Structure 1
Amino acid sequence: MANDKCTTPTRNSKIKVEENGRVAVFTNEENSKFKVIEIDGCLITAGVRADYMVSKGKSVSVIVELKGKDISHACDQLFATVEHDAVKEIINPQVGFLIICRRFPRFDTFVAKAKTRSARQYKAGFHVICNKGEFDIDRVAAIDGPY
């Protein structure tokens, strides 16, 4: 079971995770049950790990990394997190990966490889957005998402 001190349940219409000026907001117009799980430094305290996981009910989870510009490291963090035993216990069947970064080069081989791995291995969306965004969690988990 997830460590309760790392999990914040919410039914807010907008669920926000932020760090160092990077912001991801998940819309929740139906006021469904969501959970925000703090991964970095709470659920996982050592090794490579992402910042947050946002989960909608028992259906969808999105692993979020809020990053400056080291996109290749962010890709590693997302995949290390989804494979971690503490996360495997609580992640929902449908998953998505989201990086919010300061700047993102037009073509990045790490991201191209990560998108392919995500689609093949997890049937999941893998998206990189600059600075901030507002998202539907189901679209983030979709391979052709997030908009």
Structure 2
Amino acid sequence: MSTNCIKFTNKKIVPFKEQKSSFILNNQKSRDLEIHHVDGCVITNGIRCDWMVIDTESGKEIYIELKGTDLNHAFEQLKETIRKLTKDQKKIKSALIICTRSPMSSSEIQIMQKSIFQTHKAKLYVKTSEYRENIEKLIA
């Protein structure tokens, strides 16, 4: 893995963008973060999500997949990346799918949320682009 795959930041605004999907992580308290570029850098083969963020103080992990509309594939990408990269299987983490639009019903998303929490201890958030969230909510 190249050292270019991991960046360190404490910026108040941390943007993630890919094609038409974007996510902005608000870091108003300037927490120290590790930003891992997973897709094609940390993991180069197989399915994987786009980004992983680690809050260095708490060790909490946030997995991010920026997607068009294929939520099933995004879900599989998150699960596989968590399986490969998590440092602690038992610690609760966050997984985000940021999509251009959600073709799934809320009940289908709820099934995905329950499944990934049971198998990977991840809280799944499915949001449409351009989504903003405070890091404190995601690492709570």
* TMscore range, shorter length: 0.7 to 0.9
Distance in 2 between residues matched to 1:89 and 1:32, nearest whole Å: 20
Q: Tell me: CA distance 1:96–1:130, structure 2 relative to 1, closer, same or farther (3 Å).
A: same
1:28 aligned onto 2:27:
yes
Distance in 2 between residues matched to 1:119 and 1:104, nearest whole Å: 20
Kindly report which structure 2 residues correspond to 1:1-147, keeping only aligned pairs within 5 A, or say none: 3-59=2-58, 60-84=60-84, 87-89=85-87, 93-105=91-103, 107=105, 111-141=109-139
Give aligned pairs, total: 139
Q: Which runs of 4+ in 1 moved over 4 A?
A: 89-92
Return the TM-score normalized by structure 2.
Answer: 0.87
CA apart distance, 1:103: 0.7
Q: Tell me: CA distance 1:7–1:44, structure 2 relative to 1, closer, same or farther (3 Å).
A: same
CA apart distance, 1:92: 10
Question: What does the per-residue CA deviation read over 1:26-58, in whole Å, with 9 as the maximum and x for residues that have no partner?
Answer: 111111101111000000001010000112114
CA apart distance, 1:75: 0.3
Please tell me the root mean square deviation across aligned C-alpha atoms, in Å: 2.3
Mind listing any 5+ residue stretches in structure 2 that lack a counterpart?
Answer: none
1:145 aligned residue: none
Return the TM-score normalized by structure 1.
Answer: 0.83
Distance in 1 between residues matched to 2:97 and 2:109, nearest whole Å: 10
Identity %: 26
Name the aligned partner's letter for residue 63 of structure 1: Y
Q: Secondary structure at the match of 2:94?
A: strand
Higher mean displacement: 120-129 or 65-74: 120-129
Q: Secondary structure at the match of 2:101?
A: coil
Q: Tell me: CA distance 1:92–1:133, structure 2 relative to 1, closer, same or farther (3 Å).
A: farther
Distance in 1 between residues matched to 2:127 and 2:68, nearest whole Å: 11
Say whether the 8 Å CA contact 2:96–2:124 is kept in structure 1.
Answer: yes
Distance in 2 between residues matched to 1:13 and 1:92, nearest whole Å: 29
Say whether the 8 Å CA contact 1:72–1:110 is kept in structure 2.
Answer: no
CA apart distance, 1:105: 2.7
